[in-house]
Amino acid sequence: MRCEIRVLEYNSATLIHITSHIIPKQVNIFLPGASGFVGQRVLNDLLSAGHTVTALVHSARSKSRLASHYPGLSIAPGDVSHADEILRALPAGTEAVVYLPGLLREFPNKGITFRKVHVEGVQNVLSAAKQQGVRRWIELSALGAGPNPSTAYYRTKLEAEELVRSSGLDWTILRPSLIFDDRPRSEHNFVGEVARAIRIAPFIPILGSGAFRLQPISLDDVSQAIVQALAEPETFGNIYKLGGPETLTYREVVLWIADAMGSKKAAIQIPLWAILAMARRLDRFTWFPISTDEITMLRNGNYVHDPADNQKVRETFDLPMKRFSDCIGLALKK
Ligand SMILES: NC(=O)c1ccc[n+]([C@@H]2O[C@H](COP(=O)([O-])OP(=O)(O)OC[C@H]3O[C@@H](n4cnc5c(N)ncnc54)[C@H](OP(=O)(O)O)[C@@H]3O)[C@@H](O)[C@H]2O)c1
């Protein structure tokens, strides 16, 4: 444990604030969602920072992928919605949980629901964590999980936040906007979805006017915020809204992606009523590219409204704050 003395003010009386940091300590972390888009970067950054990680894996595919990328990594199989599996998976000696599992789309006919992963999952992992004496919890929520959530995704994210906030643990909640990958790889989450649509369609499809505002944040920034929050007591009991350094319209985001792909197709607006009508009929099928909830979330925008929230993030974390427009060409390289 290291002590740091910070001089906060220097007036007639100097105020000295003593903060204890747990920075150099190697923490034993339980990481559900380690195999996901965000999880793999977080896993990598936590291991690089010297922490010990037990990765909770859900599917057999994720298990073999992580085992081959990280020989020697402690891997525990389990579904967060099954309390008994989580009790078995969470090892004794765990000091912190970084909770990442999340769904952007649910398929109730297949038993895949927001409630199971966002709410019951958090409940089960919280309960197992408390039994092992865990004190620290980091929750990856979503921008939009504030008051009056507009979709079931946001509602269940907010419910999960409420469970975490009333848990009695030292919690930190991070609410990112859309996350983009800032390094070359084959899967890019929402960038990949847009790129696929541009590749398949005879034109560049723009949802409605495309004027909705987004504040994409890089995977590196989100992952670094998690790693830094873990060691920073100032973040206990705080919610951080994570947006990148530029606010772009959805149309601009799509055109940046098309440009990075070298696409010369024309951009054509698809009326929102038309895409909503199709989504209402088809979004229960995995092959349909977008759900009604996703359309609602996009058209409501996804950016940090109050500049004070951006300021709070900059004052707390030391983040690279990568710009979408600088990184997107690189991220789409194979
Ligand atoms: N990506 C974004 O733009 C974005 C923006 C804002 C917030 N977020 C939040 O960030 C978190 C991570 O998102 P992501 O983009 O990394 O998602 P992702 O790539 O879809 O990964 C989801 C992870 O959750 C795991 N998982 C799903 N259901 C599970 C279950 N029942 N039990 C245990 N694990 C389960 C998956 O494991 P398997 O692969 O083995 O099923 C996977 O590791 C989510 O909470 C999401 O809501 C993401």
Domain count within the chain? 2
Q: Is the pLDDT confidence value at 12 over 70?
A: no
Q: Are 303 and 213 in contact (CB under 8 A)?
A: yes
Which CATH number goes with the domain that contains 33?
A: 3.40.50.720
Question: Does residue 114 sit in the same domain as residue 212?
Answer: no
Atom of ligand 1 nearest to the CA of 190: 3
CA of 33 to the centre of ligand 1 (A): 6
Would you state the pLDDT for residue 3?
35
Is 10 a domain residue?
no
Domain of 259 in residue numbering reads as: 178-216+245-304+322-334
Is 310 a domain residue?
no
Domain end marker among 176, 200, 228: 176
Is 239 a domain residue?
no
Atom of ligand 1 nearest to the CA of 179: 3
- Structure letter (DSSP) for residue 167: S
pLDDT interval class at 334 (50, 70, 90): low
Residue 6 CB neighbours (<10 A): 9
Q: What's the pLDDT tens digit per position in 146-191?
A: 888 989 999 999 999 999 999 999 999 999 999 999 887 656 688 8
Atom of ligand 1 nearest to the CA of 62: 40
Q: Mean pLDDT score of the chain, rounded to an integer?
A: 90
Query: Given ligand 1 and candidates 153, 179, 222, 303, which is best to mutate, with the most ligand atoms within 8 Å of its CB?
Result: 179
Question: Does residue 207 sit in the same domain as residue 265?
Answer: yes
Which CATH number goes with the domain that contains 195?
A: 3.90.25
Does the CB atom of residue 36 touch ligand 1 within 6 A? yes
Is 223 a domain residue?
no
* Residue having the nearest C-alpha atom to atom 31 of ligand 1: 79
Q: Are 310 and 243 in contact (CB under 8 A)?
A: yes
Atom of ligand 1 nearest to the CA of 153: 47
Q: Is the pLDDT confidence value at 1 over 80?
A: no
Is 157 a domain residue?
yes
Whole-number Cα distances in Å, 260 to 198, 236, 253, 330: 11, 39, 11, 8
Question: Does residue 141 sit in the same domain as residue 185?
Answer: no
Q: Is the pLDDT confidence value at 284 over 90?
A: no
Question: Does residue 186 sit in the same domain as residue 334?
Answer: yes
Judged by phi (left if over 0) then psi (alpha if -120 to 50, else beta), residue 152 lies in alpha
> What's the predicted TM-score (pTM) here?
0.91
Question: Does residue 80 sit in the same domain as residue 172?
Answer: yes
Q: Which amino acid is at 75?
A: I
